[in-house]
Amino acid sequence: MGANRQIAYEIAEKVEKRLYDGISTDKILQMIFRLLRKHKPTIRYFLDLRKGLSLMSSKPEFEKFVQILLAHHGFEVSPNQIIRGKCVGHEVDAIARKDGVTYFVESKHHSNYHIPTGLDESRIARAVLEDVTEGFGL
């Protein structure tokens, strides 16, 4: 019996002990996923995409996810770059290039997915863009 089969039997046994009349299949699935996390920690991301993203750590998991997503969509991605501005250098999560256009990527992660990114983050990104643009004389 392989390790995967053994884990499946252990989880099934534990779930069976917790079953009761009228239990929903959703509740059973939640139990299974909770028990699977001990053997395969990444299983927690399969529950719900929004919740899965919120469970990632900001660095490096979420930033890496954004970089992989961009690469999957045909971007050439250079992770964790420092770009020179007129005033200072700015660290950005990535530089992405596609179709002759270059983007700087600053990803914002929220552990509570109901909270939007604030206006301050947008202002900072705009200031970085202006400083970099002036630094390159564009």
Domain segments of the chain as ranges: 3-47, 56-135
Are 134 and 120 in contact by the 8 Å Cβ rule? The answer is no
Helix axis angle, 25-36 to 3-18, nearest 10°: 140
3 state SS of 112: coil
Q: How confident is the model at residue 1, as a pLDDT?
A: 44
Q: Which of 35-39, 71-75, 85-89 has the lowest mean pLDDT?
A: 35-39
- 136 or 65, greater pLDDT: 65
CA–CA separation, 119 vs 124, rounded Å?
9
CA–CA separation, 135 vs 84, rounded Å?
7
CATH number of the 56-135 domain: 3.40.1350.10
Q: What's the rounded mean pLDDT across residues 21-44?
A: 78
CA–CA separation, 138 vs 135, rounded Å?
8
pLDDT digits (tens, 9 = 90+) for 99-124: 999 998 998 888 777 788 888 988 99
Reported confidence tier of residue 31, pLDDT bands at 50, 70, 90: confident
